[in-house]
Structure 1
Amino acid sequence: MIDLYFAPTPNGWKISIMLEECGLPYTVRPVNIGAGEQFAPEFLKISPNNRIPAIVDHAPTDGGEPVSVFETGAILLYLAEKSGQFMPSDLRGRYSVMQWLMWQMGGLGPMLGQNGHFKLYAPEKLPYAIDRYERETARLYGVLDRRLGEADYVAGAEYTIADMAIFPWIMTHKRQEITLDDYPNIKRWYALCRARPALQAGLAVMKNAINRNPQADEKVRETLFGIKS
């Protein structure tokens, strides 16, 4: 059994989608990030970067003590190895997946996170910051759209953990004021992924706990963004 320490965010959904896709049994351990539960000492033992998600695998393949893993890329790779799914076994295929996984972690996620922050949550509108992250978001969307003009899925012909990592961030396109009509290859891929029952099941985890307006609560705002009134 795997414990999934989770909140309903793009990063959290990456892992709930993967667990549903590969059929591994898991238990959701909610982490109320608005209340600061990610800073609790017991959680920091599992995720020292005080971020969700994290997992604890109580039945690792080596038969030893439970294994805890934090950082979404590491978790996806761990689950792919454990399940033997969604990661090619050949050299070129494997590194195609890893390249795009690292691209998401180092580029798409952080840049879309900043774009969303300055558009939606910042206490004042900063034109320079908004323009900076809008431009970088558009560049990254362009990179992904070109790639998906070459292949059915991000890393090639097959659906992999790279798609699972990228999809939840593209799912924020409407709130980030992006239209997929401007990116036809992403639009095709998005519909293809969205139709997967396991992906839908992963997105449904703690759906009722989504906080779409964290900036509206003073304590939540300070906890998540360090913004004091």
Structure 2
Amino acid sequence: MHIVDGALAPEVLIGGGVLAVAGLGLGLRKLPIDKIPATGVLSATFFVASLIHVPVGPSSVHLIMSGLAGLVLGWTAFPALFVGLLLQAIFFGFGGLTVLGVNTVNIAFPAVIAGLLFRSVISRSNPKVAAIWGGFAGALPIALTTIFVAISLGLSGDAFIPAAKLVFFAHIPVMVVEGLISAAAVYLIMKVKPQLLTSNDEATEFVPTEVAISTAGEANNG
């Protein structure tokens, strides 16, 4: 899933870098204080899950758990996944620094799409139904990421087109596994802490109201 240094054309690298910066800016702006712990946990989850690589041409096969990150974090999945990719590039040489922007977009943007498509319906469903939607939300980003990776490689030269096709088919088992894991995770979240699937905008609006109520209560007690 990580594209390595030297595989992409300069214009693809520049375009990916610009889009990644835009996504990071939006994600940081939408990061509420109460979701910072969840952001760290999901960034670490991505980091650990994607450490085991099976090389496939210029890319590799591994779990990434981006769907769950998109459901919980929304646009904040950009900085969460960016940190994981940066640390992997620095410490283990996975991907690379020149392709960091492209890899971030390829992995984080599908996560955001999954969050936008499924978070609302999941938050309104009972745990069992939410788990089914969570499975789709876990599998879809993998499919989209493979498509984005294929586009990135295809735009860099005809020589990469066979590898681009291989990336999609190699990740079909990953889609199934990610869907099952995400379904189980969503079921647990809906049972234990469903507010994790509240959108960042809603969470931002909720926190000041909660603080205001608490402050008013303290004033009355005083």
Settle same-fold status: TM greater than 0.5.
no
Q: Which TM-score bucket, shorter chain as reference?
A: 0.3 to 0.5
From the CA coordinates, give the structure whose radius of gyration is larger: 2
More helix by percentage: 2
More strand by percentage: 1
TM-score under structure 2 length normalisation: 0.35
